[in-house]
Amino acid sequence: MGRTSREQRRVKPARRWSWVMAVAIAISAGLAWAGNWKPLAQDGLHDPSNTALNQLQNPAEALSKLPPDTAGNQVNWVKALEQGKINPRTNIYAGTKVKVLDKKEPPDVLMKNTAELSMVRFPHKQHSEFLDCSNCHEGLFKSKAGTTPGFNMFNILQGEFCGRCHGAVAFPLTECKRCHNEPRPVPGGAAKAR
Ligand code: HEC
Ligand code: HEC
Ligand code: HEC
């Protein structure tokens, strides 16, 4: 990763300086994020009394070397892939046919039914670097924009559509702006960000 030394900023807590902290947090979040991965023995999943536990790598050891993020498991996996920090396998069995990183990959899909919020620009490229087309088509999504029935935020929050992965294996649904990323044009004026 480009940055070897991580930057951490601390501001002494004082109530009337809370805005300073807010700014500092925003700045440090932009620069780097101090990961706080629990060791396996404390994660509530592994048996701490199991003597084989020390054979396993602790998350901090592996994940702290990857581009940081502020949500989910605190790794920006899209950047990690772009920067060549990870090189995931496309298949386990040689015979498995995969369709990823197609040169003629479909364009982004702009989703406009977002009420007052910014619209959603769905990036095909970043998804097809991690996934096979068949992970989404035709089971989760139709291959024609705007034709997937029941596709809305309520169902996403129920774990359908984007929510099958986001909040499970990809960044969580609390990160509204990462999906609601396309400001709605304001009639007669500049785009208004939300
Ligand atoms: C993983 C991506 C993703 C995230 C994260 C996300 N949304 Fe959405 N949201 C969508 C998509 C996709 C739609 C449907 C767009 C369409 O059909 O045109 C949508 C639609 C909506 C709508 C329109 C009404 C509806 O029921 O569909 C609202 C309001 C909304 N989202 C609010 C939020 C809020 C608030 C958050 C954060 C708590 C959030 N969204 C996080 C993808 C996301
Ligand atoms: C992570 C899920 C996901 C993956 C993986 C994915 N797509 Fe899509 N695709 C979507 C969504 C969401 C839509 C929009 C559906 C809607 O609006 O109802 C879409 C729409 C499309 C469309 C219609 C575009 C348009 O403008 O009408 C095509 C064509 C398409 N996908 C092809 C592919 C191909 C080929 C691949 C593999 C290289 C692929 N998709 C991978 C989610 C995905
Ligand atoms: C089959 C799994 C899957 C589904 C379904 C899915 N995503 Fe993702 N998405 C991923 C993965 C994996 C990543 C990369 C890891 C991460 O960013 O957490 C990702 C990343 C993203 C990114 C970040 C791209 C970047 O350049 O950083 C956006 C935005 C996004 N997804 C939006 C959506 C929206 C909107 C939907 C629904 C229309 C959706 N995703 C459905 C798996 C999925």
pLDDT in tens, 136-173: 999 999 999 999 999 999 999 999 999 999 999 999 99
Q: Which two tokens stand for residue 125?
A: 């490229």
> Where in the chain are the domains?
1-70, 88-194
Ligand 3 centroid–CA 71 distance in Å is 13
Question: What's the 178 CA to ligand 1 centre distance in angstroms?
Answer: 10
User: pLDDT exceeding 90 applies to what percent of the chain?
Assistant: 60
Q: Is 108 in the pocket of ligand 2 (CB under 6 A)?
A: no
Q: Give the H or E element holding residue 121.
A: strand 120-122
DSSP 160-178: -GGGGTBTTTBS-TT-HHH
The CATH code of the domain at 88-194 is 3.90.10.10
Q: What is the pTM of this model?
A: 0.84
